[in-house]
Amino acid sequence: MTKFNGYRRSDGSVGVRNHVIVINTVGELSALARKIASLVPGVIPVIHHGGVAQFPEDYVQTLRTLIGTAGHPNVSAALVLGEEDDEIAKAIAVKLKEKNKPVRTICLNNNQTIPGLLKEGKEWLENALVKSKREIRQECDITELIVGLECGGSDAWSGITANPSIGTFSDMIVKEGGTSVLAETTEAIGAEHILASNAINREVGREFLDIVRNYDYRIKQTGEDIRSANPTPGNMAGGLTTLEEKSLGCIKKGGSTPLKEVISYADRPSEKGFVFMDTPGYDVESVCGLAAGGAQVVLFSTGKGSPTGSPIVPVIKIGTNPKVYEIMSEHIDINAGKIIDQNKNITDIGTEIFDKVIDVSNGEQTAAENQLNQEFAIWRLAESI
């Protein structure tokens, strides 16, 4: 069985990074959270702009995502910045304390000055960072890895090179007892029957079809038709002609392993194996959901060279063609275009991806990490109140 060296947490989970973060509960505190993080080099700000004036479904989704992010196994300690009587901040603190995760909540109120708040936050973060540096990696099994599967800026080569190579990786990690999570519900429309037919049983197949149909319905309620809006102009510039063509390429990331489970945005899989998460097609929100759901690493195929990253999870970029790798090599980790011009095959690139995931899990930095790409956005389900 394949091994890697990760950080064993008190709740038994395993991280591949050891971040100390500052995370805000509401958008009004985003600049302040960023400022506190800047006072302690090495601390990462996790910034979002929601949390208030939300419909109940968005409040629940925001809370679930923030808890999953702050409590992620890649996070050693979290400073939560909230407002006075902040229910989200309180809930995050309760959940993290249940995991025995170091957490501190600081809430802005009329009894504390901003300089005082900054001083308190800085002191706690400095101490948390010192403690995190004492933590050491331990040998772990690949069965403890959850890897998210994402794509952005698909082109005509996506379904021929990078995506089926990721599918090979998915089959490999599942065979060894690990977990792969395919995302982007919109990227399955037109090919949903194929994934549903590959479900482990009828119930899982129905659950998958239900989320696709629900997404399609919600889009139509806005007066739009996702089937006519896709492929996007960028996809068409890359050579895609129909939504079905795009979706058939996207679902190849899931490989040939039976679909074990369907989960909501930012939920953690309860099953090992191949899983589908309900997320939007927008890369940043989708990666955010995968990370909040426990993925320690994300694979991201791109035909356009998207620089999307994550503040807490290493994102491995797989370029679909030789040109995009040549032009944007600083943003791309693996060149699946070698299938086109270097006589490599899908198995070769799938094995290269597998080896890269293990190297990154052992601490090797990804291109997105080296470029400090730390985008973070939570999927909104309704308008602001």
**Residue spans per domain, the chain:** 19-134, 140-370
Strands 14-15 and 3-8: antiparallel
Are the C-beta atoms of 380 and 50 separated by less than 8 Å?
Answer: yes
Cα torsion through 305, 309, 314, 317, rounded to 10: -10
pLDDT at 10: 94
pLDDT at 65: 98
Compute the distance between CA of residue 378 and CA of residue 2 in angstroms, rounded to an integer.
33
Compute the distance between CA of residue 252 and CA of residue 350 in angstroms, rounded to an integer.
12
The amino acid present at 115, given as its one-letter code, is P
Compute the distance between CA of residue 196 and CA of residue 207 in angstroms, rounded to an integer.
9
Model confidence, pTM: 0.95
Q: Which residues contact 262 (CB under 8 A, 6 or more apart)?
A: 204, 207, 208, 211, 275, 276, 277, 278
pLDDT at 233: 58
pLDDT at 218: 82
The amino acid present at 96, given as its one-letter code, is L
Digitized pLDDT (tens) for each residue of the chain, 385 residues in all:
899 999 999 999 999 999 999 999 999 999 999 999 999 999 999 999 988 889 999 999 999 999 999 999 999 999 999 998 899 999 999 999 999 999 999 999 878 889 999 999 999 999 999 999 999 999 999 999 999 999 987 778 888 999 999 999 999 999 999 999 999 998 888 889 999 999 999 999 999 999 999 988 887 887 776 666 555 555 555 555 555 566 676 888 999 999 999 999 999 999 999 999 999 989 999 999 999 999 999 999 998 888 899 999 999 999 999 999 999 999 999 999 999 999 999 999 999 999 999 999 999 999 999 999 999 999 999 888 8
φ and ψ of 335, to 5 deg: -100, 95
* Overall CATH class of domain 19-134: alpha beta
- Per-residue pLDDT tens for 28-60? 999 999 999 999 999 999 999 988 889 999 999
